[in-house]
Amino acid sequence: METMSRNELLCAIRQVNFVLYDLVLYLDTHPDCACGLSTYHEYQKEYDKMVHCYENKFGPLYSFSVENKNRWDWTDEPWPWQKECDC
């Protein structure tokens, strides 16, 4: 992950995010499925790692990730959805 470009990492985050949403829909209808829940937690850990990596390299991915106490710097760069992704 550390060697990925901004677009590559953002694309990978979007892909894992899609899987997580799909798993949420599945678990909504199959709440007792241990395999589905285990898979969800695996992808959630991967997603958290990717987001952490992205934010360390390129800044906040979400507005609630802003940590600057002196200035609201969320608007300094193009927002993540304004960046190209070649998925």
Question: 3-state DSSP call for residue 8?
Answer: helix
* Structure tokens, 39: 């898979």
Q: What is the per-residue pLDDT for 39?
A: 97
The answer to whether 38 and 44 are in contact (CB under 8 A) is no
Q: What is the per-residue pLDDT for 25?
A: 96
The DSSP H or E segment spanning 50 is helix 34-58
pLDDT tens string, the chain, 87 residues long: the values are 778 998 899 999 999 999 999 999 999 999 999 999 999 999 999 999 999 999 889 888 877 777 777 777 766 776 666 655 554
Query: If we measure between CA atoms, which residue out of 30, 52, 53, 54 comes closest to residue 40?
Result: 30
Is 0.85 topped by the overall pTM? no
